Chain A
Amino acid sequence: MELSWARVTGTLLRRTALAALTVSIVSLVVFAALNILPADPTTAALGAEATPEMRAAYRRLMNLDVPPIPRYLHWAEGMLRGDFGISVVSRTPIGPELAQRFALTAILGVGSLLLSVVLALPLAVRSARRAGRLIDVTVSAAAIAVSAVPEFVVAIGVIVLFVSNLRWFPVSSNGIIEGDLNALVLPVLTLTLGAAAYVFRHARVSVVETMSAPYVRTAVLNGFSPARILWCHVMPNAAVVVVNAVALNAITLLSGVIVVENVFGYPGLGQLLVQALVANDFPKIEAVAVVTTTLLVVVNLLADGSVLLLDPRLRTQGAGARR
């Protein structure tokens, strides 16, 4: 056992290093895309009609006379310190706004993820146990439909149903800033549906496959009750696949978040990014990009860690002398 914890920590450290590397690479690419690739950054930022004075002011603000590599390092070092730079549009520090938006997006994302698991797992188990019957076929069909289509199609569907016809909720979720929880409902609903469909499909397949495993036959022949077999024998094995699926889902969820924020006007990171893109506010774009990537990478790490904890086979080496 002592050996296995060393292996786990080793693997996690390696993954963390990889994660840090990923964030660095992304920040590098983003920086390069915005600052180095464009022929003239001032045109890209200010437009072709900018006056020479505006361009000069911009160059001073953005330190454009400094060669790219020290500029990047200076900026990266600032990020690590927590200084996210200054928006060229509002001339205010990006940090506080970033934090607020980050919190709002986190609520949206994490909330939807958790809700999706809560919704999908029981459905998946029920479907798996009654595989092929009406309830399974209907729910599976719905899950396929929802998980196959882009998020914005789901969003439009939600709007048509709940806003146009039922008029239960407002279409704009701006109100969340004032704490109006109604504004959360539709975005969360849309994201949850998409994520739940995805988790459902993977969980269902996993449970069905596990149920036909030889060790389940052993449990049956040991005379255990169906409940015990399901929860103590099937689920521990199926759980690994489910966690993996949830982790994979995190990336898709992030893209979904950007779309959902856009559709419902939810003031989160996604919206911030889009506003910054429209306004060509490069420092803001860079800052949001890095923060988003870090968030994603951390979620992936957590998922990796849980998979390692759950699947004993990954922790230790098979000691059996297999020919």
Chain B
Amino acid sequence: MPRWPSIAVGGMPGRVGLLLVVVALVVTVTGPFVAPFRHTALVGPILQGPSVTHALGTDQLGRDVLSRVLYGGRSVLLLPACAVALAFGLGGILGLVAGYRGGRLDQLVSRGADILMSIPPLLLVMVLVIPLGTSDVVLIATTGIWFAPRIVRIVRAATASVCTKDYVLAARVRGESTASILWHEVTPNITGTLLAELALRLNYAIIFITTLNFLGLGVQPPSSDWGLMVSEGRAFLGHRPLISIVPALMIGALAIGVNLLSDQIAVYLARNVQQSSRL
């Protein structure tokens, strides 16, 4: 697949998106090693403004805001990524098989996905948190399971449209097995769509999980997850706005970056499809 590297590089929005995502990744991965203090350490007077030792000031418990921000990217990036991976794993296989086979299996899967998709997500997770607790695993599992139907829908639709093409028929005439056809013929043609959807889902997962954290239903204190920080800093918006604003900006930057990337992939895909039918 020699053409993939040019995806994100082409076009201004793609480049901006890539930049934002890379910056967020760097902060997330290297943050804890670069931070001047630990995110739980009480290192100064409370609610101080920006100073030489504390570039972003201190929060209501006396912790260094900058350090907390540097530690906080983990859950914002890692949890959504795992959830999306889970959703793709589950939904992808189901959608592939349903799209290829068609018939009753397809109908059943589609109906099931439809029903699951109409369930209000936040509501469901909030309710499930009570018996199951707020651990990382629960968050990932519920988010992943909630996203799965959408993935099933997308994969199924893409597979079904590919299966109407003659090259799939040609493979059947050659006597190839279902698994072989799905692997050799179908999957290469839906990776583009999947990639675009992956980026989009990541965006939604980030929104979803940070919102849960914000509402106090996700990761718990003393974690310095950005969503949690925004929530904790709410009371001090007038006095020390940085406590909320900086993590909010970080979340915003990451979300926008992922969104721009997914747009770019979608545009790239559309252009490719056009090209191949031009002749």
Are A and B close enough to touch in the complex, i.e. CB under 8 Å?
yes
Q: Measuring CB to CB, which residues of chain A are less than 8 angstroms from any residue of chain B?
A: 18-19, 21-22, 25-26, 29-30, 33-34, 37-38, 44, 144-145, 147-153, 156-157, 159-160, 163-164, 251, 254-255, 258-259, 262-263, 273-274, 277, 280, 285, 289, 292-293, 296-297, 300
A262: chain B residues within 8 A (beta carbon): 215
Q: With CB as the reference atom, state the residue of chain B lying closest to A145.
A: B256
A247 to chain B, nearest CB (A): 11
Query: Given that A29-B124, A150-B207, A157-B248 are contacting pairs, would A164 and B118 also be in contact in the complex, using a CB cutoff of 8 Å?
Result: no
Residue total for B at the interface (Cβ-Cβ under 8 A):
44
A22: chain B residues within 8 A (beta carbon): 115, 118-119
For the complex, is B109 an interface residue (Cβ under 8 Å from A)?
A: no
Query: Given that A150-B207, A254-B120, A289-B127 are contacting pairs, would A274 and B215 also be in contact in the complex, using a CB cutoff of 8 Å?
Result: yes
Segment of B65-73, B98-106, B152-160, B233-241 engaged in the interface with chain A: B233-241
Decide if B126 touches A277 in the complex (CB within 8 Å). yes
Q: 22 interchain pairs (CB within 8 A)?
A: A18-B114, A30-B127, A144-B263, A145-B252, A149-B252, A149-B255, A150-B206, A150-B214, A152-B227, A156-B234, A156-B237, A156-B245, A156-B248, A164-B237, A164-B241, A255-B120, A255-B208, A259-B214, A263-B234, A273-B123, A273-B126, A297-B118
B146 to chain A, nearest CB (A): 11
Q: Measuring CB to CB, which residues of chain B are less than 8 angstroms from any residue of chain A?
A: 13, 111, 114-115, 118-124, 126-128, 130-132, 203, 206-208, 210-211, 214-215, 217, 227, 230-231, 234, 237-238, 241, 244-245, 248, 251-252, 255-256, 258-260, 263
A153: chain B residues within 8 A (beta carbon): 230, 248, 251-252, 255
Query: Given that A152-B227, A164-B237, A259-B211 are contacting pairs, would A33 and B130 also be in contact in the complex, using a CB cutoff of 8 Å?
Result: yes
Q: With CB as the reference atom, state the residue of chain B lying closest to A21.
A: B115
Partner of A34, one of B131, B251, B255: B131
